[in-house]
A and B are shown apart, each in its own frame.
Chain A
Amino acid sequence: AQKITQTQPGMFVQEKEAVTLDCTYDTSDQSYGLFWYKQPSSGEMIFLIYQGSYDEQNATEGRYSLNFQKARKSANLVISASQLGDSAMYFCAMRGIKTSYDKVIFGPGTSLSVIP
Chain B
Amino acid sequence: DAGITQSPRYKITETGRQVTLMCHQTWSHSYMFWYRQDLGHGLRLIYYSAAADITDKGEVPDGYVVSRSKTENFPLTLESATRSQTSVYFCASRQRVNTGELFFGEGSRLTVL
A residues near B (Cβ < 8 Å) are: 6, 9, 33, 35, 37, 43-45, 47, 50, 52, 91, 93, 97, 101-109
B35 lies within 8 A of A106 (CB): yes
Q: Is the CB of B42 within 8 A of A109?
A: yes
Q: In the complex, are the beta carbons of A108 and B41 less than 8 A apart?
A: yes
Stretch at the interface among B10-18, B63-71, B74-82, B101-109: B101-109
Residue contact B45 to A97, C-beta cutoff 8 Å: no
Main secondary structure of the interface of B (DSSP, over half): strand
Q: Which residues of B contact A (CB under 8 A)?
A: 31, 33, 35, 40-45, 48, 50, 56, 58-59, 88, 90, 92, 94, 98-99, 101-104, 106-107
Q: Judging by beta carbons under 8 Å apart, are B106 and A103 in contact?
A: no
Cross-chain contact of A91 among B43, B58, B94 (Cβ < 8 A)? B43
A113 to B75, CA, bound (A): 35
List the 6 closest A-B pairs by CB distance, nearest first.
Answer: A45-B104, A108-B42, A106-B43, A47-B101, A109-B42, A106-B42
Contact between chains at B35 and A33 (CB < 8 Å):
no
